[in-house]
Amino acid sequence: MFDKSIVGKSFPPFTIEAERGKVRELALAIGDENPIYASKAEAQAAGYEDVPLYPTTPTTFTFWGNRQMVSQLVKAGINVMRILHGEEEYEYLAPIHPGDTLTGVFTIVDGKTRAGQTGSMDIITTEVQYTNQQGTPVLKARQVIIVRE
Amino acid sequence: MTTNAQTPTKVYYEDVQVGDEIPKLVKAPVTHLQLVRYAGASGDFNPLHTDPKIGELIGTGGIIAHGMLIMGFVGQLLSDYVGPTALRKFGVRFRGMTHLDDVITCRGTITEKYETDGVGYIAGKVQATDQNGDLKVSGTFVAELPHRA
């Protein structure tokens, strides 16, 4: 059972830089060999200004940028070894280019406990809103996690 | 909504019809090395994705793939189809665990086509299944497509 008082709570902002090398590493791990993710030169040869973000690059912002996330969840009474990932959703609001510095604010937007067949489970919805160095909102990342008791 | 004029065009709004299928993507079997690489790339070091002992301990039948790796596979499907910078929204629900050696196939269908203030959008549903047809991920996306001149 998690601490219901965390619902609606935002944690202190974190910053993360969008990096070409990180996009390339992610694409390679996924097994996507599209050269646009490999280097600026190859992206430009294909008509892009620079290396575009991989569609799931936001997951790297959250894990590498918000290094306090796990301890924040633990403090809220969430057993992180029991987390199942339920949903993940991105809204790409404006272009993000390599070298941009993003500021993310992590908020727990909803949480409820449900009785299941094998015990109760917590269903927690989190959101990270990202703005760039000009203060423009560029990305919204929403996540639903399920914690089996 | 911002449009990047220099973005190369993969597909035009006029060429897409509701009911169209996105060319399917069949991925190579998931390997342990791939999960180690994905952990490093994404920053998700939860040991249940990399350490077989943890997998046995919590009863998942060995290590399981990051759900986000499978979302990444679906990201490749969409990147190949509309290009990464055309995506405006991309979300999935995680429906089943993926194990080593599973062969994941990603598919998608166009469900909607509409214009807002002269800008063309398509929406679709996507899914990833394994070699037995078991569903791993289902989701939706929205992409902004350019008009034919």
Is B61 inside a domain boundary?
yes
Taking CB atoms and an 8 Å cutoff, what residues of chain A touch B93? Answer: 86-87
The per-residue pLDDT for B7 is 62
Is B103 inside a domain boundary?
yes
Q: Do A11 and A26 belong to one domain?
A: no
Q: How far is B118 from chain A (nearest CA, A)?
A: 18
- CATH number of B54's domain: 3.10.129.10
Q: Do A142 and A97 belong to one domain?
A: yes
Q: Which two tokens stand for residue A100?
A: 């941009």
Q: Do A135 and A64 belong to one domain?
A: yes
Q: Do A34 and A72 belong to one domain?
A: no
Taking CB atoms and an 8 Å cutoff, what residues of chain A touch B80? Answer: 34
Length of chain A as a residue count: 149
Per the structure, the complete domain to which residue B118 belongs is given by 13-145
Contact residues of A toward B, CB < 8 A: 22, 25-26, 28-32, 34, 36, 46-49, 52-56, 59-60, 62-64, 80-81, 83-92, 94-95, 142
Contact A62, A101 (CB under 8 A): no
The per-residue pLDDT for B56 is 74
Nearest CA in chain B to A21: B41
Instruction: Look at B91 and A26 and tell me if their CB atoms are within 8 Å.
Output: no
Q: Do A74 and A98 belong to one domain?
A: yes
Q: Do A62 and A46 belong to one domain?
A: no
For residue A1, name the pLDDT band (cuts at 50, 70, 90).
Answer: low
Nearest CA in chain A to B28: A31
Contact B93, B17 (CB under 8 A): no
DSSP annotation string for A37-96: GT-HHHHHHTT-SSPPPPTTTHHHIIIII-TTHHHHHHHTT--GGGEEEEEEEEEE-S--
ipTM for the assembly: 0.94
pLDDT tens figures, B29-44: 999 999 999 999 999 9
Q: How many angstroms separate the CA atoms of A138 and A93, rounded?
A: 5
Which runs of E-coded beta strand occur in A82-136? Answer: 83-92, 101-116, 119-131
pLDDT(B68) > 50: yes
Per the structure, the complete domain to which residue A26 belongs is given by 20-51
Domain count, chain A: 2
Is B1 inside a domain boundary?
no
Q: Across residues A23-30, what is the average pLDDT?
A: 98
AA letter at B27: K
- CATH number of A71's domain: 3.10.129.10
